[in-house]
């Protein structure tokens, strides 16, 4: 798989530690874990969320490939870091029985995945684009939850968003965030009708 790296986390008038300024990198924005981090994880926990091992049909939705690199603020790769993702399905429902939304359940969608970074800090996931959803009075734009664990404890919890998504401006977790550019990802159409995007995770 081709790997693409974007280095766009530069200091612009923010008050941050001197070493971050010297490195030219800022940590990825931290965000809430949300209510649906899977307490009971699925049997299939690999990096391909579009297939469940016990079933033969592919999950509903457009296929997206998310790849990137886990690094520290000096740009050094972090090999062996555990990267986890979890998200809603095509209709905006989590594959979690705690989600009581009156929306379809996709039995072919894994909903959760994990992978360890390679020797150069790279990771990649194959998934589908989730729909936005309403939770109480809050409307969420499409997003994917990320958690990075490096030394036996959580070092980063964040959410990835889709650039140019119409619902982004109305999402309180994104629209009110500082440095939202660190969690917005642009995707491009590649061979096979898939979308490819790069999401580097910078640990402070």
Backbone angles phi, psi at 22, to 5 degrees: -65, -35
Query: Which SS3 state, helix, strand or coil, does residue 202 take?
Result: strand
* Residue 74 among the catalytic residues: no
- Identify the active-site residue in 94, 112, 122, 161: 94
Active-site choice (112, 123, 133, 161):
133
| Annotation marks residue 107 as catalytic | no
**CB-CB contact of 57 with 176 (8 Å):** no
Q: Which of 112, 122, 123, 145 is catalytic?
A: 145
User: Alpha-carbon distance 64 to 50, whole Å?
Assistant: 9
Selecting among 69, 112, 123, 143, the annotated active-site residue is 143
Check if 98 is active-site. no
- Active-site annotation holds for 94: yes
Which is catalytic among the residues 64, 112, 122, 140?
140
Residue appearing with tokens 């986390």: 9
Locate all alpha helices (DSSP H) within the chain, ordered by sequence: 18-23, 172-175
Annotated active-site residue 151? The verdict is: no
* Active site members: 94, 133, 140, 143, 145
């Amino acid at each position: 798989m081709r790997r693409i790296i974007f280095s766009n986390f530069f200091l612009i008038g923010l008050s941050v530690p001197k070493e971050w300024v010297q490195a030219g990198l800022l940590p990825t924005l931290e965000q809430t874990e949300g209510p649906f981090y899977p307490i009971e994880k699925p049997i299939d926990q690999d990096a391909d969320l579009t297939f469940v091992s016990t079933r033969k049909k592919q999950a509903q939705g457009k296929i997206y490939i998310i790849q990137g690199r886990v690094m520290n603020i000096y740009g050094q790769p972090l090999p062996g870091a555990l990267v986890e993702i979890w998200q809603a399905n095509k209709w905006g429902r989590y594959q979690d029985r705690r989600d009581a939304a009156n929306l379809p359940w996709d039995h072919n969608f894994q909903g959760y995945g994990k992978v360890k970074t390679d020797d150069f800090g790279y990771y990649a996931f194959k998934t589908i684009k989730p729909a936005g959803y309403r939770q109480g009075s809050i409307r969420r734009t499409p997003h994917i939850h990320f958690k990075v664990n490096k030394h036996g404890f959580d070092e980063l919890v964040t959410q990835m968003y889709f650039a140019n998504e119409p619902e982004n401006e109305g999402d309180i977790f994104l629209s009110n965030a500082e440095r939202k550019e660190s969690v917005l990802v642009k995707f491009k159409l590649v061979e096979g009708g898939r979308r490819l995007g790069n999401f580097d995770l910078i640990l402070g």
